[in-house]
Amino acid sequence: MRSTAEIKVPEKIIDQVIGQDEAVNTIKKAALQRRHVLLIGDPGTGKSMLGLALAELLPKSELKDILSYFNPNDENTPLIKELPAGQGRDEAKKYQLSGSQGMKNNNFLLFIVAIITLIAPWWVRYHYQSDIMFAAFFIGGMMFLAAVSLIMGMGQRMFRFSQEIAPKLIVDNFGKKQAPFYDATGSHAGALLGDVLHDPFQTFFTGQELQIIASDNIKKRKINEEIDEVMNKYKEKILKKKEKNYEAVFLPQNEFVVMGETNGSLSPVDVLSCNRYDYVGEMVKLTTAENKELIVTPEHKIAVYRGENMEYIEAKNITKGDYVVAQMKNILINDQDLIKMYKEKQWEQCKLYFEYHKIKAQNPNWGYKRISKALGQPEAKTRWWNAHKHIPVPIQTTTWLREKGLLPLTFDNPKLPLIAKVLGATFGDGGIFDNLNGIFLSSSEKKAVEEFGNDIERIFSLPKNQNSRIIEGGAYGHSWCYQNTNRNIIYFFLALGAPRGNKTKIELKVPKWIKVNSDFESEFYGSILGGELGTPIIHKNGNYLTSLELGITGLPQFKENRVSFLGELAQYLKKNRVNTTSIYEGKYKTEGSIIFRLLIEKKIDNVLLFITNIKINYCTYKIDRLYKALGQWAKLKKNKYHELVERGYGAEHAMKTLNLTPNSLYLLLNHFGPPEAEA
């Protein structure tokens, strides 16, 4: 027998594993040699279950806590220590307790010294009856108190330093009864239930309509039509079972995208696999107040709102009154969305105006006086409306936008990527004045603000420089600001989710519609990065880049909001293969504000992916600076790599020393020119 392909396998295998004895011997041998075992196979074969079972079998006594200690000789190479499970927390607390106890003693000593310093001059004056002695002791006491305070301050800094170098608990097995198990199954091969192709709790009726996200809009289509098309496209990859005529197939990324829920909000979701089969059983039909129907299996979970939270309830448990999360419409904003941006008093005027036209349409022979009586409004109001004058301002705005082809604004509008680009700038160095007197963008580059103005003119088909200006600012005339005062434009962007006023003092939320299309995301986040990205240079030591980060400010009460906002940006970067490391806080120049920074991983291949995959709008010099820094850094790394190789070190050692991955080494050797010759 030459290979396992020649083994005859019965059609039905029950409680039988081919090669089980050999597999057991292999695992035992690997365990004795303390080697790793990699389980490879098709999804659904039980690899994760086996790993979890092995983790449960490991004895509790073998669990370890892993601590990382500060290395005074090399801050980039921490010292690692193993302790029995549960002891790691106690070890970390020792540093904190010893430091805090020392601080308590110092504070008590400072209090005693202060009392003595204040009492001593009066006692000397009383004892020696001398003002000179009093003054000498008073001045000397103050100097002594200042010296003691300074020493105490140094002690506080030492305490903070000791807190910084306290060990960090990397692996914490406190209170755990079994070894941890981490499932590393690739998302491309997984589905919703146990990494298999079919989830019995997410089954739709064949004729159910589905909201499908195409390249430029959202379309409705019956599930069976979409599945049939996908199956025909990938018919050579279909997995089949005789039972119930079951057929299933894995899908490539972005092949089939529907509206789903991520992080508590509606957003595009990739369908990883789809299937079809004959079903005989009970189905549940849900009918909404708008006569929309949804037919699913009883176990199918439906997204419903419970208060402000989204929950998933099995269809059989949904009752009358539950609010089902609605499907996304093709209309992004309409007249009512614009009118809601205005004050309540203006809403009422719009309501009366619509009522006026309704009565007039029903009674063509009525004059404005009779209509005013029916409305209970002054005749002057209906007289002006009859003459097409003094129309409520919100309605004037909707009329103006409709004439521009922007209302209702639909997802297939070709100007949406450009709109997303301008909208993103209002979250960065641009914005909308709190008094609604203008939409603006500030930049040190005049070309950037000119581009911003040109984009607004293209969106709204405006004549050049209409209702706009570019002013020079800054103490030395180094800043430029574009402003447009057209309130129709301002209310349009407010309806789309633009922030208003001082962004430090308000919550920031990424508009949900941005996530519907990758082009929208690219333009929106590109404008934010253009304003808020901090680009690196080569450090003065010449061996690494300074920080590559994105920072936004906010008051302390908006900490959770800022972290969430940056988290969404990190997800966008990750989707484009760019890794981030962490979010940290720092003091900002404005009193009371905090700056939150999202750090981008500074490995050569990651920085290069950032440059190639991420768009940056309204800022040319940051792109140039990033290219220049990467080129200089790559040249330094490449020269050091060749130097190590010439000294006899292998490629693996050189990569480890220079913190390079195989991919980044390939990029260095093939895309950054020859190494520099030594002088």
pLDDT, one tens digit per residue, over 151-173 is 666 555 544 444 456 788 888 77
Structure tokens at 30: 């690997």
What is d(CA 409, CA 497) in angstroms, rounded to the nearest whole number? 14
Burial class (CB in 10 A: 0-12, 13-18, 19+), 433: middle
What is d(CA 567, CA 353) in angstroms, rounded to the nearest whole number? 44
* Predicted confidence (pLDDT) at residue 593 exceeds the cutoff of 70: yes
CB–CB of 616/533 below 8 Å? yes
Pick 196-328's CATH classification: 2.60.40.1260, 2.170.16.10, 2.30.130.10, 1.10.645.10. Answer: 2.170.16.10
CB–CB of 159/102 below 8 Å? yes
* Predicted confidence (pLDDT) at residue 144 exceeds the cutoff of 90: no
- For the whole model, what pTM was predicted? 0.56
Listed in sequence order, the residues at least 6 apart from 252 whose beta carbon sits closer than 8 Å to its beta carbon are none
What is d(CA 132, CA 155) in angstroms, rounded to the nearest whole number? 35
CB–CB of 469/437 below 8 Å? no
Q: pLDDT value at position 226?
A: 80
Task: Give whichever of 3-7, 494-498, 627-631 has the largest mean pLDDT.
Answer: 494-498
Residue 552 pLDDT level (bands cut at 50, 70, 90):
very high
pLDDT, one tens digit per residue, over 170-217 is 887 776 766 666 665 544 444 433 344 545 445 666 666 666 655 445
Half-sphere exposure of 439 (CA within 13 A, CB side): 23
Query: For strand 239-241 and strand 246-250, is the pairing parallel, antiparallel, or unpaired?
Result: antiparallel
* Predicted confidence (pLDDT) at residue 527 exceeds the cutoff of 70: yes
Two domains, one topology: 414-501 and 528-671: yes
CB–CB of 287/303 below 8 Å? no
Beta strands in 246-334 (DSSP E): 246-250, 257-262, 265-270, 273-276, 284-287, 293-296, 301-306, 309-314, 323-324, 331-333
Pick 528-671's CATH classification: 1.10.3470, 3.10.28, 1.10.3280, 2.60.40. Answer: 3.10.28
Strands across the sheet with 533-534, in order? Answer: 533-534, 549-554, 594-600, 580-587
* Predicted confidence (pLDDT) at residue 540 exceeds the cutoff of 90: no
Residue 12 pLDDT level (bands cut at 50, 70, 90):
very low
What is d(CA 674, CA 510) in angstroms, rounded to the nearest whole number? 45
Average pLDDT over residues 266-275: 71
* The three-state (H, E, C) secondary structure of 285-297, written as one string: EEECCCCCEEEEC
Q: What residue spans define the domains of the chain?
A: 4-58, 69-171, 196-328, 333-403, 414-501, 528-671
- At the fourth CATH level, which superfamily is domain 414-501? Homing endonucleases (3.10.28.10)
pLDDT, one tens digit per residue, over 102-142 is 555 666 666 677 777 777 777 777 777 777 777 777 787 77
Q: pLDDT value at position 37?
A: 73
User: What percentage of the chain carries pLDDT values higher than 90?
Assistant: 25
CB count within 10 Å of CB 632 equals 14
Q: pLDDT value at position 634?
A: 81
* Predicted confidence (pLDDT) at residue 395 exceeds the cutoff of 90: yes
Residues of the chain by 3-state class (helix, strand, coil), percent to 5: 45, 20, 35
